[in-house]
């Protein structure tokens, strides 16, 4: 993405970046939820729901080439190392191939009998995770923490396949970015260099308010 940013910057085309790190001095504004805070929230939430102090946590870490995925994974691992040091983390770095992700999860569950939880750092991975957990007959048996919320996840929250998910306000990220761009071009207004949005916990009981 940095190559694209450099090209736009060289042509003096204003831009804002949503939910992805890049060379900050070259864009008008960076809008996102804090990956560090979201990862800590995921860790805190998991510890509150899952009372096991040992065993394994499978983390669907997304794409290792995407910085926000790496930041979430490393932040979560650091939190768990501090709070639940006896729990081992297994990271699955498969983002685009659903069949391969399902196969890997199935292999880990069959290999280890102490898988306590699964965490997805991405919205895409969350759906894959839920489909795998349900097909493996693990709904309600392992703690699952996802990322963001959309219609397809509602049945998984209701049947306890998905324990909880972390909403990062993607629509508000886009809205804030568009406001910055409009104010810059039309009104010549100054703006913040970075806009950080909160993260919220979504459960079955409140999911409808985030759709």
Check residue 166 and report its DSSP letter.
E
Tens of pLDDT, residues 121-135: 999 999 999 999 999
> In 10 A of CB 104, how many CB atoms?
18
Tens of pLDDT, residues 62-115: 887 777 888 899 999 999 999 999 999 999 987 778 888 889 999 999 999 999
CB 152 within 8 A of CB 127: yes
- Long-range CB contacts (< 8 A, 24+ apart) of 136-144? 136/105, 136/106, 136/109, 138/109, 142/115, 142/116, 142/117, 142/118, 143/46, 143/49, 143/50, 143/116, 143/117, 143/118, 144/117, 144/118, 144/119, 144/120
CB 122 within 8 A of CB 95: yes
pLDDT at 194 over 80: no
Which residue has tokens 């923490």? Answer: 145
Predicted structure pTM score: 0.82
pLDDT at 19 over 70: no
pLDDT at 28 over 60: no
CB 68 within 8 A of CB 122: no
Which runs of consecutive H residues, i.e. helices, occur in the chain? 2-10, 35-49, 67-83, 98-111, 123-135, 154-158, 170-186
Phi, psi angles (nearest 5°) of residue 78: -65, -40
């Amino acid at each position: 993405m940095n190559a694209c940013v450099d090209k736009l910057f060289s042509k003096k085309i204003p831009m804002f970046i949503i939910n992805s790190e890049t060379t900050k001095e070259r864009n008008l504004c960076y809008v996102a939820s804090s990956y560090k805070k979201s990862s800590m929230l995921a860790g805190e939430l998991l510890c509150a729901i899952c009372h096991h102090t040992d065993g394994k946590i499978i983390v669907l870490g997304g794409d290792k080439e995407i910085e926000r995925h790496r930041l979430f994974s490393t932040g979560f691992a650091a939190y768990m190392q501090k709070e639940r040091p006896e729990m081992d983390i297994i990271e699955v770095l498969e983002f685009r191939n659903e069949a391969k992700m399902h196969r890997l999860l199935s292999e880990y569950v069959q290999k280890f009998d102490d898988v306590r939880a699964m965490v997805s750092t991405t919205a895409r991975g969350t759906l894959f995770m839920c489909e795998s957990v349900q097909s493996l007959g693990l709904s309600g048996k392992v703690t699952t923490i996802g990322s963001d919320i959309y219609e397809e996840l509602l049945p998984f929250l209701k049947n306890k396949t998905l324990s909880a998910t972390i909403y990062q306000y993607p629509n508000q990220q886009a809205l804030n970015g568009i406001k910055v761009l409009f104010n810059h071009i039309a009104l010549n207004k100054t703006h913040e260099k970075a806009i950080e949005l909160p993260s919220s916990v979504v459960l079955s009981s409140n999911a409808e308010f985030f759709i």
